[in-house]
Structure 1
């Protein structure tokens, strides 16, 4: 299955897309990676979805990535006597550790970490920012606030804290149980960590996972932006989670933050996913709005590795149409005359390593000689990531003997992943590359390709060789 685009598509599975037949339709429509939202999926449901995805993968012959998205800390107020109360701007309202039902003047806040961390002047946003409070007095047991805007608060509404650094990690007890269940399957490629605030939040997941899954940090807290370079360094990938980020930051700042994060990840060679409300209207309509098309296009023009569908594919009325539309937009943008220039202008300088120099040279040679494809042999995935970091105009085929590596690379820009045995010698390496390029539809007899690999063959992280080869009439090297 050959994709005619470089940006990848993540599709969230849910009630509208949990059947194996629907998963197959979504994959055929363009989904490269499937997201399982652990906020809603039980462990049994997760295992069932994994089994169905792998069945689709076996029939398609293409590696499919699976992302398990951990819920993270859900901060909510308690309940009220009448289910809700009406407030007015300027009035005093208290959040405290008293478990009694709330009223016009106060409500229970079952999160001691918030009571202990909020300082006077900090904002508390309730129900996705519909109610804004400002802390006036804090004693560790209660927070006396002034209502800034909004007129209502009701049972169990969420609390966002844009000014407060909480003294707890990003993993909850539920997340730990979910992570253990995910790792026990040995069949998930990525884990997304919600509400990352600081680099230390990644340490516990790293310790538990021990490299068995890639770690994707979701950026949805202002505090994360203050130490973003450190967070990127400790992450395997980033997700720009614009929903919660747009609650805790001014809405008008989110597009600029998105560009900042995409460019930072491109510099570091880490995959970056743009998520939330990309085709929101397609939850209930068969076509998107013009603004949504422009939103997807912006992420593609910036060189994001992947764009994600949430409720559109999980619970919407048109999941297949949403994936098809996303793929069509991406394909059209990548064919725009201005696209190569924009991508080139944002290209990062290579790091001072032999592998990065080889990847740069392979891209320059491929574009100068108008070769049909770049082929990189990669065991750990590092060579594939470096080839993608260059954002070449020609296709990249990442050949790996390890199915887990190919699945993990399914989220990476421009990589067409193929699982194949390690080459036995240089002739086998060249012949195998030529044959696969021809078989996968990226070249024909007479075309030239460029191959990057490491010598000795099969040595992870030792990319040190490039080779130009002709595809012969038999599909093998014509050199």
Structure 2
């Protein structure tokens, strides 16, 4: 099936690349199923592994003709256990456990005393965790309580009691829900991954364990050292930052984080370990609403179809979870282990897309009854493009327009349209491939490559040809077109036009010379076909 036969899924699907989908052919099938952003998890693998994953996604994108963005997920200050003598130790309730400052110590269990010794990748933890505070290992499967501390130098330690027993093995995550930790927001490994991401033209970076907006600033400053500027100044490369909300401290600074980040991710795994699990659904709804207020895309992630790691079909609860996130307003939903190491990566992507499609139909019915309004923060800045985007929303509702079409140089216009949740497909045309890939995260936006038309006549003729070739709209149906005049200048979107499909000859031209050009629609259509053909070759 060629992708243009049924491309219009409004909600974006992210899939993690891993051994389960490590061929271009497999990932191409996942793209056809609905995946639009590929996640590379820097917590697992080497730079050779990451390059292989990137090449797989880029080749699959070429095969399908669909723009796919790549997100590099930084590890952040994740505390983990180090190595064990026999791969791990088994703890029972009330066992004594000593966590040591010496990061070189190999973990073991003393057969005479019964005390277990554990080292971590963050030796200063023994100084910052205090008596009576809790330590969770392996997503809370094993739980300890600190009874006291002692020792000097590398011999410093925490004496703990096991509250909930289980297996502790190499490189398992540690959460400290009661402690204030001073780990850097960007680690040395993260810095290497940032450099690699810039060099390899990734579209997004996700920052893990964000605690305050200052963590976003730290990463932005590092990006500037590598020639990137997310404020859009100086013509430098734009590498947007996705803030992963998974620490309780981030909830306290959520407003500033949403302001500084380019997008938000609700990372429910660690969030559900560090906070009362029962509060996570409420917090998820709050994060989504706050991100919308700032006009930022928001992704809901972690264990969405977890059972599909081993099973070909999901549980009903998992399907409800995906649908619930979309109904709350998530721009995107993410697959992690389901596609990275699961037995059914394609089936997981297909289930998620089908669930999204059915849910969108119901959500769209409700949204169409309401007057669209731009994000609250965008209403305050009095800028031209957000106002135009809001106007497009009103026109779409009043005319029952089937599509919005935007010409965009850098993707800003498409993002503003997306923020208004128009409930109709937004076909975003651009000559810049990187812009196309970055738009792959925006709700409702469908990036398509097109060589830059010389004027509005060529653009409109190309649109008619597009709708005719792929049977997306019938003659006479209204389409709202948004662009800048003159065409091709970034940052000056200033024109909204209502176009009826097939009606190139009766366009409302601004002057007589353009009207004369409009009369020769056949010539414009032939030019448009060339534009589209060349665009297809370079998609």
Q: What TM-score, normalized by structure 1, do the two folds share? A: 0.90
- Are 1:149 and 2:163 an aligned pair? yes
Unaligned runs of 5+ in 2: 230-236, 509-539
1:182-331 aligned within 5 A: 182-186=197-201, 188-209=202-223, 210-211=228-229, 212=237, 213-331=239-357
The whole-number CA distance in structure 2 between the counterparts of 1:116 and 1:159 is 15
- Are 1:25 and 2:29 an aligned pair? yes
Farther-moved stretch of structure 1 (102-111 vs 123-132): 102-111
The whole-number CA distance in structure 2 between the counterparts of 1:54 and 1:293 is 29
1:343-382 aligned within 5 A: 348-349=375-376, 350-351=378-379, 352-382=382-412
Farther-moved stretch of structure 1 (330-339 vs 435-444): 435-444
> Which SS does the other structure have where 1:16 is aligned?
helix
Q: How far apart are residue 336 of structure 1 and its match?
A: 2.1
The whole-number CA distance in structure 1 between the counterparts of 2:369 and 2:20 is 35
Q: How far apart are residue 307 of structure 1 and its match?
A: 0.8
Report if the CA contact (8 A) 2:8-2:446 is conserved: no
Farther-moved stretch of structure 1 (427-436 vs 414-423): 427-436
Report if the CA contact (8 A) 1:397-1:415 is conserved: yes
Report if the CA contact (8 A) 1:97-1:110 is conserved: no
> Which SS does the other structure have where 2:14 is aligned?
strand
The whole-number CA distance in structure 1 between the counterparts of 2:371 and 2:146 is 45
- Are 1:160 and 2:175 an aligned pair? yes
The whole-number CA distance in structure 1 between the counterparts of 2:52 and 2:317 is 36
Q: Which protein is richer in helix relative to its size? A: 2
The whole-number CA distance in structure 2 between the counterparts of 1:343 and 1:303 is 16
The whole-number CA distance in structure 1 between the counterparts of 2:264 and 2:177 is 20
The whole-number CA distance in structure 2 between the counterparts of 1:439 and 1:271 is 32
Other-structure match for 1:125: 136
Q: How far apart are residue 326 of structure 1 and its match?
A: 0.8
Other-structure match for 2:54: 50
Q: What TM-score, normalized by structure 2, do the two folds share? A: 0.81
Instruction: Describe the superposition over 1:40-98 as per-residue Cα deviations: whole angstroms up to 9, x where unpaired.
Output: 23222222222232222223222111112222233123566774253434x76443325
Give the counterpart of 2:119 among 108, 129, 134: 108
Report if the CA contact (8 A) 2:18-2:53 is conserved: no
> Which SS does the other structure have where 1:458 is aligned?
coil
Instruction: Describe the superposition over 1:212-245 as per-residue Cα deviations: whole angstroms up to 9, x where unpaired.
Output: 4221121111121111121222211111111111
The count of residues paired between Structure 1 and Structure 2 equals 476
Q: How far apart are residue 342 of structure 1 and its match?
A: 9.5
Q: How far apart are residue 171 of structure 1 and its match?
A: 2.0
Report if the CA contact (8 A) 1:471-1:477 is conserved: no
Report if the CA contact (8 A) 1:65-1:411 is conserved: yes
Report if the CA contact (8 A) 1:435-1:471 is conserved: no
Unaligned runs of 5+ in 1: none
